[in-house]
Amino acid sequence: MAVVEWKRDDTVAVVKMVNGENRFNPVFIKEFLQVFDEIEKDKAVASVVIVSTDVKSWSQGIDLIWMQGRMAEQDLQAIRGFLYGLNDIFKRILLFPVPVICAINGHAVAGGAILSLACDFRFMRADKGFFFFSEVDVGIPFIPGMMTFCRKAVPEYKFEEMMYTGKRYGASEMEAHHVIMKACPNEEALMADAMAFARTFNKKRGVFGEMKRRMHKHIIDVIDTEDREYIDPLKVMYGD
C-alpha cells in the first residue's frame, strides 16, 4: 500500500501523504522521490500542493520507532542511508522546477515542520494543528543543512525561539511572523486557498528552476559538504 500518492488537478499536482502521521522512514523517502520524479515528467504540471489525508497530522517527522530499532540492531549504515535520503528529499524540493506549496492541514512536527520549510510557500489551517520543532526534547539536534534552509522561511529571531524552546505554534502566529502565507479558517478554506494560489503559476520551468538553483546554491553546498561531518559518524542523536 502506497504511503505517498499524487494526482493532477488541471495544472496542479496534488501530492497526498496517506500514512497516518506520515513519519519518515526508507519507504516514505523512496515513494516521495518517485512521486516527484513522475510529476517532473508530466509537462502539464505547473505547481505542486502537498497535503495529508490524516485528520490530525500533516507530518510528525522521523519514524522514531524505525530509527530506534536500527539503533538497537546497530544497523548504522541503514541510519546513514536514511539521513542522506532525507537530504535528497529536501534538495529535490529546494530545486524542483515548479513552485512547491504546502497545505498544512494538521500537526507539522519536527521533521514534518522542516519538510514544509523546504517548500516554496506554506498555507495552514487555523482551527486545528500545531507547528513546532520537538528536536530539543527528543534529542535529535538540527544538522547544518536543515538550519540553513529553515532560515530561508523563518526569521532568525523566531527560528532561535522555535529551535531552543520546542514551543507549539498555531497558524495565526506563524502567519504573523511570515512563516506561512495565510492562516485559513478550516480545512476547506485551506485547500481552496492553496489550490487557488497554485493555479496562479504558469512559469517556464527552465527559468524557474534556474532561479531556485541560484537562490539556494549556498543551501545545497551546506547540505552536500557540512552535513557529512554529522551524518557519517552519526552525531545526530543525544540522550543527555
223's CB contacts (< 8 A; 6+ apart) are 87, 90, 91, 144, 145, 148, 149
Separation between Cα atoms, residue 29 and residue 35, nearest integer Å? 10
0.85 cut: is pTM over it?
A: yes
Walk along the chain (240 residues) and give the pLDDT tens digit of each residue. 899 999 999 999 999 999 999 999 999 999 999 999 999 999 999 999 999 999 999 999 999 999 999 999 999 999 999 999 999 999 999 999 999 999 999 999 999 999 999 999 999 999 999 999 999 999 889 999 999 999 999 999 999 999 999 999 999 999 999 999 999 999 999 999 999 999 999 999 999 999 999 999 999 999 999 999 999 999 877 655
Host domain of residue 9: 4-189
Which distant-in-sequence residues (6+ apart) come within 8 Å of 154 by Cβ? 117, 162, 177, 179
Only one residue has cell 535529535, namely: 140
Domains: count for the chain: 1
Kindly state whether residue 208 falls inside one of the protein's structural domains.
no
115 in any annotated domain: yes
Q: Is residue 232 part of a domain?
A: no
Position 87 in a domain: yes
CATH number at residue 175: 3.90.226.10
